[in-house]
Amino acid sequence: MESDWRKVIARYNHPDLERSVGQLASTLLLYLAAWYSMYRSLELSYALTLALSVPAGGLLVRLFIIVHDCGHGSFFRSRKACDAVGIVLGLLVCTPYFSWTRKHAAHHTTVGDLDRRGQGDVWTLTVEEYRRSPVWRRLWYRLYRSPFLMFGVGSFLFFLVFQRFAFRFGDRRHVLSVFATDLALAGLAALLGAAIGIRAVILIQLPILFVAAAGGVWLFYVQHQFAGVSWVRHAQWDYRTVALEGSSFYRLPAVLRWFSGNIGFHHIHHLSPRIPNYKLAACHCENELFRSATTLRLRDSLASLSLRLWDESARRLIGFRQVGAVSGR
């Protein structure tokens, strides 16, 4: 079985230059067109500007998926080409490319591992850890896991503010990636501000970033925090099993699948990060071998909002109500 799935995956592991260039060019042009439309709409109505931020934010999510693929080396055969595109597009999504890529690679090697949590994942406590925590930590955990913070203010501040700082100063490349991105973003903001006014830049870019951050964090969250997800201790951790049982198949409507760059086929992506986003659907649909992953539809995924803690005895995610109030009774 091990050799079978690896052989199947290998058929999809190579990027197609024409498709990659086409996806990059079309998405970037559409995003720039949406941005310009928002700029022109400022003369008419800011309500229209905000309405246009929704598709623009969706396009920014799609651009982030390209950055994500570049980080995995799956968008072009050339590593240098991936890095060049990833660095440039990283500015549009306010993300230091090399720093984020390293943290995301750690996520792939630790996902579903209870003994190696905290590396590019959503903070998740077990029931026992929560019960043993002091009141202040439980309150902070509840705040962190609230939808308002996680998919609203928190996700927005993560991309706009938190990624402007290098918290791991021991890693020289990480620090340089963050500082270089910050300088480039400041220069880009200054150029746009000189061209159209800093007020216009703020009124356009912040709503786009808010929509994209909320959507992007939701996609990441629901693909690893859902009813039926599997978490194990390190001794039981197995790459293929965790990919298929620790990641969901998020079955989205076609338009949302396009904006999200097929990342809903997350089980396939975790089986092989080298598969470019435009081949994930084919890998899933053409091979019965990979269809055991939990399927989530848009309506089903909303139930994930109530799942907050991992119950090791029951091997499932549960809500706060199932373990009592903050007092731990």
| Token pair listed for 50 | 């905000």
Summarised one tens digit per residue, pLDDT across range 15-51 is 999 999 999 999 999 999 999 999 999 999 999 999 9
Residues 6 or more apart whose CB falls under 8 angstroms from that of 308 comprise: 142, 145, 317, 318, 319, 320
pLDDT by 10s per residue, the chain, length 329: 455 888 888 899 999 999 999 999 999 999 999 999 999 999 999 999 999 999 999 999 999 999 999 999 999 999 999 999 999 999 999 999 999 998 898 899 888 889 998 877 889 999 999 999 999 999 999 999 999 999 999 999 999 999 988 776 557 778 888 999 999 999 999 999 999 999 999 999 999 999 999 999 999 999 999 998 989 999 998 888 888 888 889 999 999 999 999 999 999 999 999 999 999 999 999 988 887 788 999 888 898 999 999 999 899 999 998 876 434 44
> What pLDDT score does 175 carry?
86
Residues in a beta bridge with 126: 310
3-state secondary structure of 311: strand
**Phi then psi for 233, rounded to 5 degrees?**
-75, 160
pTM here is 0.92
Residue owning tokens 């706060």 = 320
> What pLDDT score does 325 carry?
42
Residues in a beta bridge with 317: 310
Residue pair 200/39 in contact (Cβ under 8 Å)? The answer is yes
Percent pLDDT > 90 in the chain is 71
Give ∠ CA 320-324-329 in degrees, rounded to 5: 150
d(CA 81, CA 244): 30
3-state secondary structure of 229: coil
d(CA 102, CA 120): 9
